[in-house]
Amino acid sequence: MSTYKSSDAFNGAKLHQWFDNTLVYILLVLVAVITVFPFLWVFFTSFKGVNDPIFSVPPQLLPSSPTVDNYLRVFTQLPMLSFYFNSLVVTLTVVVVNTLFGALAAYPLAKMKFRGRDAIFYTLLATYVVPPVLTSIPSFVLAVNVFHFYDKLASVIFPYLSGVLTIFLLRQAFAAIPDDLINAARIDGANELQIWWSILLPTIRPSLATVAIITFVDQWNNFFWPSLMLHTRANMTLQVGLVALQGAFANDARGIAAGVVMTVVPMIIFFALLQKQFIAGLTGAVKG
């Protein structure tokens, strides 16, 4: 193409292309402003001092003399470090155990013949359409009367240690592995647990990553159930703590902004580091 630089037709096409691209970039920037602006605004607000107005006509976006006072205020009035620690403990425990239990359960469902397999599979499938909020009432009763873990971190960990979506996604991954691979290992004398651990798990690593990322985002951002369970501030996760902060700082927009930034930043950093895996993982569950 570039050999015909002087031809009018090419210049016309090039101009057209340039025009198209400019239009696309204008659209892209417009959408980016819509998706990113709230974050930028909260970010700048969180560094505003008392002399920088939250509300003015015309609006003032940037702080005139940035200060970290708002963050210090949040840290002194609320146990932010506990929030982080609790969120981390809950999220990591659930990600590891949920993936492990799911991978264990998915193997026989995909690759073994046994009594009750279809019954178990279809029961799990049927529960998938049940709205999660439906189970919150009996789960609340269980937490208070039976397990006595109300207001303890255990209450927001145990219910999530296994999930139907994880089992389904991993079952699909196991099903794609050829039977011959498993049979060959059996002939070599490997037991089922060895086969599962050293042959099957490495082959389904991408699916394990997908499941781990879905669970990670779900748990980190989980609010409904934790808000029912956790009431002592020191026991709260970040999301529940942020709502407590919002109540405690009712007339302090700068402080709330600092809390929002502190809640969102870990996830955005994590996302920035693992963008490809995040997007592939969260949208990859679709293909089933």
Partner 1 sequence: MNKIRSFSLTPYLFLMPALIIIIVFLLYPIGAVVYYSFTDYSITTPPVWVGIENYQKLLNDPIFWKALQNSFVYLLVTPALIFISILMAIVVNRKLPGITLFRTLFFIPVISGSIAVGIAWRMMLDTNGIINSILMTIGMIKDPIQWLAEPAYTLGIAMLLTTWMGMGYYMMIFLAGLQNIPEELYEAAELDGCNAWQKHWVVSIPGLRPQITFVTVISSLAALQVFNEIYILTGGLGGILNSGVTVVFYLWRQAFRLNHAGMASAIAMVLLVITLLFSIINIRAMESGTEADA
Please report, as residue ranges, which positions from 137 to 166 form the binding site for partner 1 (by CB under 8 A): 137-142, 144, 158-159, 161-162, 164
Q: Can you list the positions of beta strands (E) in the chain?
A: none
Under rule CB under 8 A, residue 279 binds partner 1 = yes
Size of the site for partner 1 (CB under 8 A): 89
- Name residues contacting partner 1, limited to 111-140 (CB under 8 A): 112, 114-115, 117, 120, 123-124, 127, 129-140
Q: State the Cα–Cα distance between residues 194 and 210, nearest whole angstrom.
A: 23
Q: State the Cα–Cα distance between residues 202 and 205, nearest whole angstrom.
A: 5
H-run or E-run covering 224: helix 224-229
Q: Which is nearer to partner 1, 82 or 135 (CB)?
A: 135
Tokens standing for residue 24: 């696309």
What are the φ/ψ torsions at residue 188 (nearest 5 degrees)?
-70, -5
Shortest distance, position 6 Cβ to partner 1, whole Å: 26
Under rule CB under 8 A, residue 198 binds partner 1 = no
Tokens standing for residue 37: 């602006």
Under rule CB under 8 A, residue 176 binds partner 1 = no
- Name residues contacting partner 1, limited to 213-252 (CB under 8 A): 217, 220-221, 223-224, 228, 239, 242-243, 246
Q: State the Cα–Cα distance between residues 5 and 270, nearest whole angstrom.
A: 46
H-run or E-run covering 94: helix 80-111
- Name residues contacting partner 1, limited to 5-64 (CB under 8 A): 21, 24-25, 27-28, 31-32, 34-36, 38-39, 41-42, 45, 54-59
- Name residues contacting partner 1, limited to 71-110 (CB under 8 A): 101-102, 104-105, 107-109
For residue 213, which of 50, 98, 105, 80 has the smallest C-alpha distance?
Answer: 98
Q: Which is nearer to partner 1, 235 or 281 (CB)?
A: 281
Shortest distance, position 273 Cβ to partner 1, whole Å: 12
Shortest distance, position 253 Cβ to partner 1, whole Å: 6
In this chain, which stretch among 1-9, 67-75, 78-86, 260-268 interacts with partner 1, using CB under 8 A?
260-268
H-run or E-run covering 74: helix 69-77
Q: State the Cα–Cα distance between residues 234 and 152, nearest whole angstrom.
A: 10
